[in-house]
Structure 1
Amino acid sequence: MLYQAIFIPDGETQPSRDILIEPNIQQSLKGWGRKGDTALIAIDASNNPIGAVWVRLFDENNSTYGYINSQTPLLGMALLPEYRGKGIGTALLGEMLRITKKAGFGAVSLSVDPNNPALTLYKRLGFKKIGVDGTSWNMIVEFNE
């Protein structure tokens, strides 16, 4: 799913899966299973994974795209192309935000290309742009008490 999370604009060539060894991308899931790592996986009727959303904490020594601070979980999300636009991403993201808030976190951050159609979903669920990192926007949603 990490590969599916990499936004490629229409008309551009899909990168090789070797992009997953790029340090900032690899850092997103390296050592998965640490305290605070949480994921949800959507499956189809045959139990095949079709999408996922995940959060994890980073610090200045092991940060990646979208990092805000060591108390704010960083979110990643992907759906297989044929399942996009069907409400699955909305359900996954909404549930992950509920879980993260219930766990006591005050916010969640993410990184998104401003041309990615998922930006509409993020804005609808309350994410706000707080900065730019390369060609991507850093966004955050803060939870109200």
Structure 2
Amino acid sequence: MHLRDATDDDRDLLLDVLLEAYNWTGEPRFTREWLTTDPHTVRYLGGWKRPDDVGIVAVDDDGVVLGAIWARPLPATEPGYGWVADDVPELTMAVLPGARGRGVGSALLAGILDRARALGVTAVSLSVEDGNTAARSLYVRHGFVVVGRNGGSDTMLREL
């Protein structure tokens, strides 16, 4: 597995990853069309790649995408589900089904934390839905703590 920086050309790939994150249960709860038209969801990738966006894509030796993660600061006027503060970027990530259980999520998370730290970011946040125990366990292992609640999800924070 290799990690590479997400580029301007990765918006469609990241949209596929976002769809996977939203459909983490394995059921098709959301569609790609919904992701691109829902005003709240558009915040996560609209205008990708902005100067303050940072992302990583995990690929195998053949260049097949295994998953991706990105961080984007969102303002209080247009918060994400895991919003904490304007200066705290929110993470979005997913590992594609065939790549789960192989350390891809840990590698992506460690990589984005390193990149965010190098950019001077002091904390990152995310949202994890109730029932998504695999993701929640991963986040806790990487030092995230619950700092709030939004509907059926916990908002988690990792200070850097």
TM-score, normalised to structure 2, is 0.82
Which of 137, 144, 157 is the aligned partner of 1:120?
A: 137
**Unaligned 5+ residue runs, structure 1?**
none
- Whether 1:38 and 2:50 are equivalent positions in the alignment is no
Structure 1 counterpart of 2:33: 18
Give aligned-pair identity as a percent.
37
> 2:53, 2:33 → 1: CA distance?
24
Tell me the CA shift for residue 60 of structure 1: 1.7
Structure 2 counterpart of 1:141: 158
> 1:40, 1:24 → 2: CA distance?
23
> 1:49, 1:104 → 2: CA distance?
28
Secondary structure in 2 aligned to 1:26?
A: helix
TM-score, normalised to structure 1, is 0.90
What do the CA deviations read for 1:6-45 (whole angstroms, capped 9, x no partner)? 14436x4543333312222221111112121011001122
- Whether 1:88 and 2:104 are equivalent positions in the alignment is yes
What do the CA deviations read for 1:68-98 (whole angstroms, capped 9, x no partner)? 1111011000111111111011011001101
Contact 1:53 1:93 in 2 (8 A): yes
Residues 1:62 and 1:13: Cα distance change in structure 2 (over 3 Å): closer
The code of the aligned residue for 2:102 comes to: K
**Unaligned 5+ residue runs, structure 2?**
1-16
After superposing the two structures, state which structure 1 stretch, 125-134 or 26-35, moved more.
26-35
Q: Which has the higher helix share?
A: 2
Count the aligned residue pairs: 142
> 2:75, 2:57 → 1: CA distance?
25
- Superposed structure 1 runs of 4+ greater than 2 Å apart: 7-10, 12-19
Contact 1:8 1:14 in 2 (8 A): no
- Whether 1:55 and 2:71 are equivalent positions in the alignment is yes
Q: Cα RMSD between the aligned structures?
A: 1.5
Secondary structure in 2 aligned to 1:130?
A: strand
Residues 1:13 and 1:62: Cα distance change in structure 2 (over 3 Å): closer
Tell me the CA shift for residue 126 of structure 1: 0.6
> 1:99, 1:85 → 2: CA distance?
23
What do the CA deviations read for 1:97-133 (whole angstroms, capped 9, x no partner)? 0111121111000011131111100001010011111
